Amino acid sequence: MVALHGNMSCELYRSAFSGEVVFAVKTLDGKPYEGIAPKHYARPVDNLSANPIHGSLEVRVIKNGGKSARVRMPDGEAIDVPLTIINLPNK
Amino acid sequence: MYLSDGDLQAAIESGRLIVKPPPATIGPTSIDLHLDSVDQARIWDIRKLAGDNIERGLHELQMNIARMNYGKMSRKYLVPPPHEKDSQDTDMVVRRDDCVVVRPGGFILWQTKEIVGTPEDNPRFICFIDGKSTRARTGLVVHLTAPTIHAGWSGNVTLEMTNCGPLHLVLHEDDAVAQITVAQITNPPKLDVGQHESATHGQSDVTGAQA
């Protein structure tokens, strides 16, 4: 299977740098993961602050099946997440 | 193969190479990158980090680099450098009006003005961040490691700069401190199933400065 473009529901924070955001998700086993991504991968990016807002992050879905998906994120890492937080085109 | 000036120009114009804003000039085989606004300079707030670590019973400057949540750490501990008039003698990086002074041994993060990279779909290039030799002779290291902008990624580059020399280095917005070279890859990455281990595979709880 070739990786698909998808959007991952997440929380977004303002980053230390204006060109990026901090995103936060819970992995499949419930652990928190926070990474950084250039702004154009995230929505929405207006009015980000130290408090989280609900948003989404463009990811590459490299594996899915059952109730989970493995996604590669803009920070270069790959994590396993619940499939429920992934929005795939034509899903 | 590395792209030379004409091919760099063509790649930018066709959208296969992203450099925004587009460069005013292109070198024989490289494109200069410039520092963003001085407000984009950041240092680690080691006093706060040390205090939090001590509260947790850890060594004051400990950071388990492979187990931390970088996003959370950056939110909590990346701060603008103190203004020179408010600084202490132990501050290695200080703000001075419209510039930043990096004293010997100082370490600073600063994003580039340019957004650099390649489009996500069908990327054909990989970029390498490097310093510039004239700047390096002052002791300025502009990219400690991980110089590669992988195919399919684009964004402002965060430069990891340190002063390895004996001088107090003064940095301003728009200073050309880095450059990229661009190489053509054999094929766009396929990103097939099974080629990517999960970052949390086998990971135990985060230790050290958890933030």
pTM over 0.90: no
Q: Which residues of A touch B198 (CB under 8 A)?
A: 70, 78-80
Q: Is the pLDDT of residue B194 over 60?
A: no
pLDDT for position B198: 52
Q: Which residues of A touch B37 (CB under 8 A)?
A: 18
Q: Which residues of A touch B109 (CB under 8 A)?
A: 16-17
Domain count within chain B: 1
pLDDT for position A50: 95
Residue type, position B144, single letter? L
Considering Cα of A81, then B118, then B147, then B43, what sign does the dihedral take? negative
Q: Do A38 and B198 touch (CB under 8 A)?
A: no
Residue B122 domain flag: yes
pLDDT in tens, B94-133: 999 999 999 999 999 999 999 999 998 889 999 999 998 8
Say which CATH number the domain at B36 has.
2.70.40.10
Beta strand pairing call for B99-102 and B107-117: unpaired
Residue B67 domain flag: no
Range scoring the smallest mean pLDDT among A81-85, B31-35, B204-208 = B204-208
Are B164 and B184 in contact by the 8 Å Cβ rule? The answer is: no
Are A10 and A22 in contact by the 8 Å Cβ rule? The answer is: no
pLDDT in tens, B43-75: 999 999 999 999 989 888 888 887 778 899 999
Residue B209 domain flag: no
B31: left (phi over 0), alpha (psi -120 to 50) or beta: beta
Joined together, the tokens standing for residue B40 give 């984009």
Q: Of B53, B17, B48, B47, which is closest to residue B126 (Cα–Cα)?
A: B17
Residue B97 domain flag: yes
Residue numbers of the domain that contains B16: 5-44+79-184
pLDDT for position B48: 94
- Residue A58, strand partner residues: A7
Query: What's the complex ipTM?
Result: 0.85
Q: Do B195 and A62 touch (CB under 8 A)?
A: yes
| Whole-number Å distance between alpha carbons of B99 and A45 | 28
pLDDT for position B196: 52
pLDDT for position A6: 92
Domain boundaries, chain A: 4-87
